[in-house]
Structure 1
Amino acid sequence: MANKFADLRAKMPAESQERVMAKAEALLAEMPLHELRQARGLSQKMLSELLHVQQPAIAKMERRTDMYISTLRSHIEAMGGELEVIARFPDGAVRISNFSDLESNGVTA
């Protein structure tokens, strides 16, 4: 009989459980766009319909390493999220606010 993963995890020492949880959180906190879309339960076709573009445009965008912030913001908002730009320094992090007002300034994706 196969063991349930939850049962196996419960038998792990507390230190090991904490280490596994920290690693899982780190993996979930950072992922490429295509994995984020999949984790949100969306296909490229579904997202293309939300953004009123063709499906190949979604595939191309997910492969890009350089894009406009407004384009990325539209993509994230179509998935139900909100984009924040944060600069991290050794002595702390700063949220860059210029990009939160793009629509109110008449700029759209």
Structure 2
Amino acid sequence: MSGRRPFRELTSDFTPERRGRIEEIKRELLAEMPLHELRRARALTQRDLARMLEVNQPAVSKLEQRADVYVSSLRSYIEAVGGKLKIVAEFPEGEVAITNFSDVGEDEGDQG
């Protein structure tokens, strides 16, 4: 016998509290993710994404590595991996969705 057991068998005796904590950690990890990890989580390669964005693969690599990108470029990237970009400002009093970027890049040429 190899000593291997299915994951669901390993976790079957977890308490509801422990399962809840695991789900909470999972949500936190999925809530914050660099672009390259998001792409991988969506089972896409840089080449796949480059074809969808109609750019070359090095352009995707560069976008994933940059800390400062155009909103329109980021939106295109997020939409290509199946998401929708929302920009939210966090304040001590609460969050505010910033809406004036919703049409950036659609009427004007994409600058990024």
TM-score, length of structure 2 as denominator length: 0.89
| Conservation of the 8 A alpha-carbon contact between 2:71 and 2:104 | no
Q: 1:18 aligns with which of 17, 20, 28?
A: 20
How far does the alpha carbon of each residue in 1:62-104 deviate from its partner, in whole angstroms, 9 at most, with x for none? 0000011111011111112110100111221110000112255
Moved over 3 A (4+): none
The runs of 5 or more residues in structure 1 that have no matched partner are none
Alpha-carbon distance in structure 2 between the residues aligned to 1:20 and 1:46: 32
Q: Which has the higher helix share?
A: 1
Mapped to 2, the partners of 1:25 and 1:108 lie a distance apart of: 35
Mean Cα displacement is larger for which, 7-16 or 62-71?
Answer: 7-16
| Two-structure CA RMSD over aligned residues (Å) | 1.3
Percent pairwise identity: 46
CA separation of 1:96/1:35 partners in 2, compared to 1, >3 Å: closer, same or farther?
same
* Alignment partner, residue 46 of structure 1: 48
SS at match of 1:98: coil
The structure 2 residue matched to 1:95, chosen from 94, 97, 108, is 97
Structure 2 unaligned segments of length 5 or more: list them.
none
3-state SS of paired residue (1:41) = coil
For residue 102 of structure 2, give the secondary structure of its aligned residue in structure 1.
helix
| Aligned mates of 1:108, 1:36 — CA distance in 2 | 26
Aligned partners of 1:78, 1:26: CA distance in 2, in Å?
23
Name the aligned partner's letter for residue 49 of structure 1: R
User: How many aligned residue pairs are there?
Assistant: 108
